[in-house]
Amino acid sequence: MGKNVLVIGQGAREHAMVWKLSQSPGIGRIFAAPGNAGIAEIADCFDVKGSDTRQLLDLIERKKIDLTVVGPEVPLMEGVVDEFEARGLRIFGPRQNAAILEGSKVFTKNLFKKYGIPSAEFGSFSDINEAREYLREKGAPIVVKADGLAAGKGVVVAMDEKTASAALDMIMLDQAFGTAGHEVVIEECLQGVEVSVFALCDGKTVSYMVAAQDHKRVFDGDQGPNTGGMGAYSPPPFYTPDLHQRVMNEVLEPVVKAMAAEGRPYKGVLYAGLMLTADGPKVLEFNVRLGDPEAQAILPLMETDYLTVLEAVIDGTLDQTPISFFHRASVCVVLASAGYPGKYATGRVITGLGDVSPDTMIFHAGTRRQGTQLVTDGGRVLSVVSTGDTVAQAIDRVYSEIPGIHFEGMHYRKDIGFHALKL
């Protein structure tokens, strides 16, 4: 009998995870908590939040779920893995004491310093006067970061001191992110190309998956405010095997060893956000989960059965489980509501999802059913993903599919993946 799997989360990332799992030969039933309208087409969705451990545990028992996989970071930081493991349940993701790698920038920067992992020079402060002093000393450009989770809004790259100082006030005085801003990291502004590198770790073995490039700004040409991500593609042509070997030796392996040495063995996805500087790769941040929208681009390229991958991490057998990806490319374009990442309307009717070609997937994020209609229900509404032999082919495909899809105010970037073509 197949394994029953629960996916925690509700974005396009989790839709891609459910879609990939649905292709596993060993899969039984798939459940999602809470899921979304797209996930509901291939899994049973339950209106349970990832932070509601009691209800999740009840669901596991009622539906005879064999394995749980956590999509977003918040339940990991709240200790969902610890709660499940304490009851002997199988769950994919880092424990609370390892999820701190994403949860506290102060922790992570100090870890980098202690173990010599390349990253921007920094100071960390809980006293605003000391922070101000450091700002004056260093000058602009400079980067101000809230210590904790701030829904992607806690980082300000300041081109002048006034902006840096205002960021400090917003985080520490106005407490725009609550306790996440009790401490700040102020760091050197790095120049270069950004890349997201994904690996798996079972506590001992690090197994590289693929690299991808995210597009965080809302408008073409990387203009406008930051968003949760307007698109991604994989693989980036500049992420060469030589560069990867360096990242493995200087970043991924040392971080995993450091976490083990600190009594915080790391299990799950390791997502390194890197800046490729003139002095080599430097870490901007670590995340403890798959990226969104990167997951929508990379999961369709995964050749190894996804369920097998999850089990190998849980069982600590990654060293015996080779993980391979197709030598193809993929491009994910996010279709967003007008106004996102600011205010936007919801409830707009979505049409045209019925007839996309076989090389294209549509993953839902902010959608819901309203009677027989599908309507918008968030800022990022859909992820449209095409694969191809090359990034150029995947770009052509994805942009030929999108004009068939419609909702009022639909906005998307026309240049996802174009960094890859310039090279």
69 vs 108: CA distance, rounded Å: 24
Q: Of 75 and 375, which CB lies nearer to ligand GLY in the complex structure? A: 75
Integer-rounded Cα Rg, in Å, for the chain is 21
Give me 392's structure tokens: 């150029």
Is residue 157 part of the contact set for ligand AMP (CB under 6 A)? yes
Is residue 154 part of the contact set for ligand GLY (CB under 6 A)? no
x/- map, 185-214, ligand GLY, by CB under 6 A: -----------------------------x
Q: Say which residue the tokens 């030796």 belong to.
A: 249
Which 263-282 positions form the footprint of ligand AMP (CB under 6 A)? 273
Give me 227's structure tokens: 């968003």
Identified binder of ligand GLY from the candidate list 9, 75, 291, 366, rule CB under 6 A: 291
Q: Of 116 and 152, which CB lies nearer to ligand GLY in the complex structure? A: 152
23 vs 331: CA distance, rounded Å: 20
Looking only at Cα atoms, what is the longest distance across the chain? 64
Q: Of 192 and 388, which CB lies nearer to ligand AMP in the complex structure? A: 192
Applying CB under 6 A, which part among 198-206, 291-299, 371-379, 401-409 lies near ligand GLY? 291-299
31 vs 6: CA distance, rounded Å: 5
Q: Say which residue the tokens 């769950």 belong to.
A: 91
x/- map, 103-142, ligand AMP, by CB under 6 A: -----------------x----------------------
Closest to 145 (Cα-Cα) out of 114, 115, 122: 122
Is residue 294 part of the contact set for ligand GLY (CB under 6 A)? yes
Is residue 187 part of the contact set for ligand AMP (CB under 6 A)? yes
Is residue 93 part of the contact set for ligand GLY (CB under 6 A)? no
316 vs 136: CA distance, rounded Å: 48
Identified binder of ligand AMP from the candidate list 140, 166, 176, 189, rule CB under 6 A: 189
Identified binder of ligand GLY from the candidate list 118, 181, 229, 417, rule CB under 6 A: 229
Residue 248 main-chain phi, psi, to 5 deg:
-60, -50
Give the torsion sign (CA, 102, 103, 104, 107).
negative
Q: Of 56 and 275, which CB lies nearer to ligand AMP in the complex structure? A: 275
Q: Does residue 325 contact residue 357 with C-beta atoms inside 8 Å?
A: no
Site size toward ligand AMP, by CB under 6 A: 13
Q: Does residue 202 contact residue 162 with C-beta atoms inside 8 Å?
A: no
Q: Of 9 and 229, which CB lies nearer to ligand AMP in the complex structure? A: 229
Q: How far is the CB of 63 from ligand AMP (least distance, A)?
A: 35
Residues with Cβ within 8 Å of 356's Cβ and at least 6 positions away in sequence, in order, are 362, 384, 401, 404
Q: By the criterion CB under 6 A, which residues form the site for ligand AMP?
A: 120, 143, 145, 155, 157, 187-190, 194, 273, 284-285
Q: By the criterion CB under 6 A, which residues form the site for ligand GLY?
A: 214, 229, 287, 291-292, 294
